[in-house]
Amino acid sequence: MNFTVGFKPLLGDAHSMDNLEKQLICPICLEMFSKPVVILPCQHNLCRKCANDVFQASNPLWQSRGSTAVSSGGRFRCPSCRHEVVLDRHGVYGLQRNLLVENIIDIYKQESSRPLHSKAEQHLMCEEHEEEKINIYCLSCEVPTCSLCKVFGAHKDCEVAPLPTIYKRQKSELSDGIAMLVAGNDRVQAVITQMEEVCQTIEDNSRRQKQLLNQRFETLCAVLEERKGELLQALAREQEEKLQRVRGLIRQYGDHLEASSKLVESAIQSMEEPQMALYLQQAKELINKVGAMSKVELAGRPEPGYESMEQFSVSVEHVADMLRTIDFQPGASGEEEEDEVALDGDESGAGPEEERPDAPEGQH
């Protein structure tokens, strides 16, 4: 059904508008919310100016937003439910704006600012029956129409109802829908707040697990460093023992070589003696010394392979493979961590005689 358009629609009934206005009243200034409107963690709304006044009254030492000093935040109680609201250093400017309520306020003000004229001037006229006012509503076609359309026109077989009745009904439905939308927005905001808390908890738990993971690997590295030091000490001891033995043999052979060289030098000088009697006086003693020197048995030399240190080789492939299998264990609890810490403390308190066995030393 077509009808002439050009007149402004009638305002909603005063009761529905009054109900909507009551939902838009600030509990502090008792007037309609003035933008910007902020939503508290308890899901109640306040004018940001009113919220700032309450916050400043509860925190007189808090620095204003334009101050250069660094503030640590503050707290105040919601005037509607007395829930304590904790704010960061941004104060009320850190609260989230309720854009839905602000949009509803704009719509309400637009509707309220429309000029009121007589109903005769506001009625729409039927396009098919130009002299007839739109005064009924076709329930079958869901469009406004006039009485002649119901009697003679396209809606003669349709079910109709008075226009004011349907008008009030739909205005009431729209008002209820707006209220439900506002309530739904509060629930969505509550869910958002809960999910933000979940995000913060995830970050805290991840940070804690990272610290524990670093501690575990630092402990593992400390064990490897400790064992490496023990094995290096065993290798150094074996090296020193072997070097001392070989150097002792070198000194023994060196002493024998020096004594033998001196004896050879004395024997050569004696052979150069031209007087036979004088030569014979010394010859017997030199002959005996040379014979004795040639029969001296020196200590045995190091056996073949004595210089080898292969027995100190370490195979770490299987340990590396085992380390690569380290993975997370979801079932691990904090009690196991405490037990491990206690176990480490017991081991650190052991006496010096409880040392780990060194690597096998080489043969001398």
Q: Convert the pLDDT of each residue in 119-150 to its tens digit.
A: 444 567 777 776 777 778 888 888 888 876 76
Helix and strand element counts for the chain (H, E): 9, 8
Cα dihedral angle (289, 292, 294, 298), rounded to 10 degrees? -130
Could you tell me the domains of the chain? 18-60+72-111 (3.30.40.10), 134-199 (3.30.160.60)
**pLDDT value, residue 212:** 94
pTM of the model: 0.43
> Whole-number mean pLDDT of the chain?
78
Q: Convert the pLDDT of each residue in 212-226 to its tens digit.
A: 999 999 999 999 999
**pLDDT value, residue 303:** 87
Is residue 24 within 8 A of residue 101, CB to CB? The reply is yes
- Asked if the model's pLDDT at residue 361 lies above 50, the reply is no
Phi-psi region of 305 (alpha: psi -120 to 50; beta: other; left: phi over 0): left
Of the two residues 355 and 128, the one the predictor is more confident about is 128
Is residue 185 within 8 A of residue 100, CB to CB? The reply is yes
